[in-house]
A = this chain, B = another copy of it.
């Protein structure tokens, strides 16, 4: 299997997936979403495998939406693609992480922004190093973290998710651990992973599936919010103000508040 945006390797107890678009700050584009689905297919096809570990190459775990791609989309004829399809594709990926019969662990060592926070929030466990940070800057662009929100609220509750969205201020790893966006603050994630693996490998894959399904019925499921999220993302992404800001940044590195309209 050839990956364009990932490095993937099989360990005895886990499939290790490294987001690997260093030239693009590990941002999320169609390639990355497709590659992640392929890697998840691989993990699901292997009945002996219980754990999927998600990492980032370099100092950025994941920087969210690829603005270069988004700007291109918005300027070509087929420019409606990202607003209408991109949200659904990303939401579908996050939903899959929360439902597939494997335990997904994000091991974070670096910056996480925008949609990257969604990957983290949709993970079953999150281990992060001290130097990690988490931010939702979407509102500065005239956007909202539409697809991230249901998964983030599920993980950390309403108020911290709301405060991160509206303030746009980054959250340190230590604060993220207080908010429980991070389950364990550690510079030795391998040790924590081994401790988790020693338990997870003793659990039937069917029980992992049962557990995810059962918890989804406990009234905190993001499933029913999918249409709300996808529609709001499409609406905001179609706004000329948002498109101008994204294009300004992608082509001239202009910050969103410097964009004259």
The chain A residues found within 8 Å of chain B, CB to CB, are: 103, 124-125, 139-140, 142-144, 146, 149-150, 153-163, 165-169, 179-180, 183, 195-196, 199-200, 202-204, 206-208, 210-211, 214-215, 217-220, 225, 228, 232, 236, 241, 256-257
Contacts and interface: CB of A to CB of B under 8 A. Distances in A.
What is the copy number of this chain in the assembly? 3
A139 B161 CA distance: 30
B210 A162 contact: no
Given A139-B207, A207-B142, A214-B146, A220 B169 contact: no
Given A125-B167, A217-B228, 17 more contacts: A124-B162, A125-B163, A139-B203, A142-B206, A149-B215, A158-B218, A158-B220, A159-B180, A160-B180, A161-B215, A162-B211, A166-B203, A169-B196, A204-B241, A214-B228, A218-B225, A219-B220
Given A163-B124, A215-B158, A140 B210 contact: no
Nearest to A241: B204
A179 B156 CA distance: 11
13 contacts: A124-B163, A140-B199, A144-B210, A149-B215, A158-B218, A158-B220, A166-B203, A166-B211, A167-B199, A168-B199, A169-B195, A202-B256, A217-B225
Contacts of A166: 103, 124, 200, 203, 208, 211
A214 B144 contact: yes
